[in-house]
Amino acid sequence: MDLLEYQAKELFREMGIPVLPSQRIDNSRDLKGLQIPYPVVLKSQVRAGGRGRAGGIRFAENTIDAIAAARTIFNLPILGEYPQVLLAEAKYDATREFYLAVTLDYDLRRPVLLGSSQGGMNLEAVMELLQQVVVDQEFSSFYARHLTLKMGLQGSLIQSVSTVIEKMYHLFVQNDLDGVEINPLGVSPTGELMALDGKITVNDAALRRHPALASLAAKMPQSDIAKETPTDIDPGKFLPIQNWLNRDGNIGILCNGTSLAMAMVDLVYSAGGKPRLCLIVGEEASGNLTPASWREQLEQALERLTQNKNIKVLLVNILGNTAASQEVVAVIDSYLQRKVNEMTEHPQRMTRRVSTPSPKDSRTRIGDRRPEFLTLLPQFVVRLAGGELDKSQEPLATMPVHWSDNLDDAVEQAISLAKAAAKSRSGTPSTK
Amino acid sequence: MKLTPDSKILIQGIAEPLASTYTARMTAYGTKVVAGVSAGQGGQTLDGIPVFDLVEQAIQSVGAVDISIIFVRPYAALDAALEAIAAGIRQIILITGGIPPLDMVRLLRKAEATQTLIVGPSSAGIIVPGKVLLGTHEPEFYSPGSVGLLSRSGNLTYEVAGEMTRAGYGQSIAVSIGSEPFVGSSVVQWLEILAADKNTKVIVLVSHISHTSSSDEQAAAEYIVATLDKPVIVYFVGRLLPQEKLLGPGNALGFWRQEAMLASPQAELAAEQTPENRKIAAFKQAKIPIAERPSQIPDLVKKALKKSG
């Protein structure tokens, strides 16, 4: 997760990395009480890069200018993201600018220090002069000094820039970050250093052992993916969502494994279907699987996917042994039964409702009123591969669910149902 | 990897719910689980297996063990692995996933210094069908045979094994080397092991697009072309995930990989030099057959076996 600039600078300040006096602006009116002397820079606080070029960074000489600039920036989306806050910062005149970063090299499996004697917006120039030092064993200051020399720095800059790199490294290690970047690190005519812009990427896996970062994360603007599924869920039982979202898609995917999810997305795309989003349940999701939590995860995922109105077909693929497959059948059965009963008892809560089943038969089997039911929830295609399921089993036969033990067939079925759903929405209503 | 049906196995975190389920299944498969470790549970017996508070105590009581399988929670995994290494264990399978990368950096430094083989993290373990099960593989999908299966995935491995089993191609071994950016043992290391394995006639490699590293796959393609005299079939997943989706916020993108992103719109960077493209290109260039879907793999195995005689 990327922190916003003002959050990153807060951490820089705590670590003793020099940053400019700045103020968070939640509303353009806040500028009337600005504590920083003009001229100031106003910066859009979005996670996307390229803010400068997109017009998200503006200078202001006085309050009137600043309010106008702030209004413009608040209304300017950058790569689809509107800022919720701006950062007002003192203007700084740098004679030189450097690039510095600390990150992990996944090939070398070690942290690396990166530095370029050319910083700023011209990335090609930054990259051309980029130097790297691998932190092969326990960190010590010499690694940082080594980088400054590779960058071609001389005199007092060797020590002062090394100190900044060292502080970045400590920030990186203490907070389990994926990366810390300062670009540019400004150098004043007197040789003073200033982190003019900065970026911190937090490692999601490590978040739970850093409560301060976790609470920052909780305050971040919601991503599109989070908006697609209800969030009234205990964050401790968080379900991983594949990190993509296809806004044109109408097939929801639920499965037990990240690579399996990728395989299913590939299959659906290559057969002409459009996945919307994907939830992953199971061991790798929780790391602590007990029979109760497995059922709970599965139910929660079904709930989240069926509530998403963009999803017309729900493709479920749970790979496991016979016992696991039977469990999935039982969970889907009880989930669908419960849904039907809820809808019957609380018709006002229904959003997809087309016709009302009469309340008196609320305990009858789902299969008995399949037509009404199908209009209320996405269609289910469930693929279970583990073990031989007895196809004559009652839930399998009576639920409005397409069962399959073959992945290719299940994908094909899901796509043809999704296409039919798309057609019936755009053309004449189907008369199933 | 030194692994035989008689290898003596230790389970760390044996009292974790996941471990107790799978330990019983490993034992039922014939795996020799000699002891378990779970601090605070020492002195108990679980499924007939003695439990100790420390790895050292377990070894004192049951003698040297060949492999430790770690089921502890993510933030305890580094410590568990260091404990195993300190007690002299040199083969470790990390079932645990979600271990913070900097913990893995520390662990791998130690593993390199002590020549310890680390399989995983986030591994389903190893299965030699009909002989020995180490980890969480679902044995139902496997059958004994001559296909070596290497996978950077957990249960997608069963999917592929199941396809082969149905088509009559059993497996000599299946190794889940872990799906996370940091894994201890590499694809190349395992290709070398399978090259030497008499029971393996053909190798199926299951990998996925990870946005963090491509060097292991590139090295694997080079090794296959230059050295390996057994046919290899590759199946990649995540190929059709749109690039911009992979580059969205929330990914564990190293800055180095993403390459200086502050001033640059991400879409521009996604263009050509993505690791995923480099990965697949390496195998295409080497003319190694690439399966489009799991159901295609048995056919490719058949062709490969015919060619190699």
Q: What is the ipTM of this complex?
A: 0.88
Residues of B in contact with A104 (CB under 8 A): 101-102, 105, 254, 256
From A223, which residue of chain B is nearest by alpha-carbon distance?
B249
pLDDT tens digit at each of 432 positions of chain A: 789 999 999 999 999 999 999 999 999 999 998 999 999 999 999 887 778 888 999 999 999 999 999 999 999 998 888 899 999 999 999 999 999 999 988 878 899 999 999 998 877 888 889 999 999 999 999 999 999 999 999 999 999 999 999 999 999 999 999 899 999 999 999 999 999 999 998 888 898 899 999 888 777 766 565 666 654 444 444 455 555 567 788 999 999 888 898 899 999 999 999 998 888 887 655 555 566 677 888 888 898 888 888 899 999 999 888 888 888 899 998 888 888 777 776 655 544 444 444 444 444 455 444 445 556 788 999 998 866 666 667 777 777 889 888 999 999 999 999 998 888 766 544 443
Asked if the Cβ–Cβ distance from A243 to B250 is below 8 Å, we say yes
Asked if the Cβ–Cβ distance from B254 to A267 is below 8 Å, we say no
3-state secondary structure B199-264: CCCEEEEEEECCCCCCHHHHHHHHHHHHCCCCCEEEEEECCCCCHHHHCCCCCCCCHHHHCCCCCC
Q: How far apart are CA B148 and CA B161, in angstroms?
A: 10
Cis check: omega of the bond before B101, within 30 degrees of 0: no
Asked if the Cβ–Cβ distance from B98 to A205 is below 8 Å, we say yes
Name the stretches of chain B with pLDDT < 50. 244-273
Chain B, residues 96-125, CB within 8 A of chain A, namely 96-102, 104-105, 108-109, 122
Q: How far apart are CA B237 and CA A266, in angstroms?
A: 7
What integer pLDDT is reported at residue A172 of this predicted model? 97
Asked if the Cβ–Cβ distance from B262 to A223 is below 8 Å, we say no
> Which residue reads 């020399």 in tokens?
A149
Is residue B214 within 8 Å of B276, Cβ to Cβ?
A: yes
What integer pLDDT is reported at residue B25 of this predicted model? 94
Sheet holding A57-60, edge to edge: A22-25, A86-90, A40-44, A57-60
CB-defined contacts A:B, below 8 A: 225
Asked if the Cβ–Cβ distance from B98 to A256 is below 8 Å, we say no
Residues of B in contact with A258 (CB under 8 A): 153, 179, 208
> Which residue reads 């795996």 in tokens?
B31
- From B210's Cα to the closest Cα of chain A, the distance in A is 10
Q: Which of A45, A109, A135 to mutate to test the interface with B (most CBs of B within 10 A)?
A: A109
Is residue B284 within 8 Å of B290, Cβ to Cβ?
A: yes
Q: Please give the structure tokens belonging to residue B296.
A: 């295609």
Cis check: omega of the bond before A184, within 30 degrees of 0: yes
Q: How far apart are CA A271 and CA A65, in angstroms?
A: 54
- From B57's Cα to the closest Cα of chain A, the distance in A is 26
The minimal CB distance from B255 to the residues A101, A289, A408 is found for A101
Chain B, residues 239-298, CB within 8 A of chain A, namely 239-242, 245-246, 248-257, 259-267, 292-295
Asked if the Cβ–Cβ distance from A176 to B100 is below 8 Å, we say yes
Q: How far apart are CA B103 and CA B161, in angstroms?
A: 32
Q: How far apart are CA B72 and CA B19, in angstroms?
A: 8
Q: Give B256-282 pLDDT, tens digit per residue.
A: 344 333 333 333 334 444 555 667 878
3-state secondary structure (DSSP) of residue B14: coil
Asked if the Cβ–Cβ distance from A408 to B75 is below 8 Å, we say no
What integer pLDDT is reported at residue B35 of this predicted model? 98
Q: Is residue B44 classed exposed, middle or buried when 0-12, 13-18 and 19+ CB atoms within 10 A define those classes?
A: middle
pTM of this prediction? 0.88
From A3, which residue of chain B is nearest by alpha-carbon distance?
B249
Residues of A in contact with B18 (CB under 8 A): 283, 287-289
